[in-house]
């Protein structure tokens, strides 16, 4: 029986991953801003799921995490699913700031707390959800694409750090394409995966402790093509 903490699990893939693990008999702690939705998830598996109200932009991340970890009796896997993004062609600062505060500042604090916990425990697995949007800058959502690039690189950095520390800490970067959630916004959406399909692929990648998991797998090809596309062509898209 694994002990899994999912940060940002009131909806979308965070919620679905919680249900996957709870159904398998694992102990699952879930956090989110909408505690009423968390309670509804808990009602499905009351013996396996514990909940905590949590906003990663607040300054109580350490306290909240310690509390929920205590409720589930420890932590083997930390999944950071909390994230936000906006189509922001007008570069409205409140939207950019909210994205940075959640996807960069909040994410970093959660990841660091998890790393230090696992370092002391001498084992653990950190999972962060990035995006194909982080491969290159996107003009209609600058902060979102930049923040996802940050997440991917930060996870790579602490994966490298774990090796140098000779720590038994695994780090997985989930890089999804379009998933049928509220985050899927804008024009030109294709290869849309259901939350259920995407979450099951994520769970399999996590189980294998893969360093990078593209969801769905075909997005690995898209990410590569976007990465090698000449700047002159990319700027015209």
- Could you read off the pLDDT of 36-49 as tens digits, one per residue? 999 999 999 999 99
Q: Tell me, what's the pLDDT at 181?
A: 61
Q: Tell me, what's the pLDDT at 222?
A: 87
**CATH assignment at residue 58:** 3.40.50.720
What is the average pLDDT across 11-35?
97
Query: Does the pLDDT of residue 187 top 80, yes or no?
Result: no
Q: Tell me, what's the pLDDT at 179?
A: 85
Q: Tell me, what's the pLDDT at 184?
A: 46
Of the two residues 193 and 52, the one the predictor is more confident about is 52
* Per-residue pLDDT tens over the stretch 169-184: 999 999 998 887 655 4
* Per-residue pLDDT tens over the stretch 126-160: 999 999 999 999 999 999 999 999 999 999 999 99
Query: Does the pLDDT of residue 64 top 50, yes or no?
Result: yes
Q: Is 139 exposed, middle or buried (0-12, 13-18, 19+ CB in 10 A)?
A: exposed
* Per-residue pLDDT tens over the stretch 66-109: 999 999 999 999 999 999 999 999 999 999 999 999 999 999 99
Domains of the chain: total? 1
**pTM of the predicted model as reported, rounded to 2 decimal places:** 0.93
Mean pLDDT over each residue of the chain, to the nearest integer = 93
Query: Does the pLDDT of residue 190 top 80, yes or no?
Result: no
Q: Which domain holds residue 66?
A: 3-234
């Amino acid at each position: 029986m694994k002990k899994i903490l999912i940060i940002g699990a009131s909806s979308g893939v965070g919620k679905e991953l919680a249900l996957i693990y709870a159904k398998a008999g694992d102990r699952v702690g879930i956090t989110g801003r909408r505690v009423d939705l968390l309670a509804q998830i808990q009602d499905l598996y009351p013996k396996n799921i514990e909940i905590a109200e949590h906003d990663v932009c607040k300054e109580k991340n350490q306290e909240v995490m310690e509390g929920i970890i205590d409720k589930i009796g420890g932590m083997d896997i930390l999944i950071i699913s909390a994230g936000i993004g906006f189509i922001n062609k007008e570069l409205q600062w409140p939207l950019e700031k909210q994205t940075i505060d959640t996807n960069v500042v909040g994410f970093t604090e959660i990841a660091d707390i998890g790393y230090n916990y696992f370092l002391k425990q001498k084992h653990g697995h950190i999972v962060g959800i990035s995006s194909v949007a982080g491969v290159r800058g996107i003009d209609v959502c600058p902060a979102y694409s930049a923040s996802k690039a940050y997440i991917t690189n930060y996870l790579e950095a602490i994966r490298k750090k774990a090796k140098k520390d000779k720590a038994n800490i695994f780090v997985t970067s989930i890089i999804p394409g379009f998933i049928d959630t509220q985050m899927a916004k804008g024009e030109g959406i294709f290869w849309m995966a259901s939350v259920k399909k995407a979450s099951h692929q994520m769970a399999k990648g996590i189980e294998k402790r893969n360093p990078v998991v593209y969801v769905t797998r075909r997005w690995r090809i898209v990410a590569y093509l976007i990465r090698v596309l000449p700047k002159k062509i990319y700027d015209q898209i």
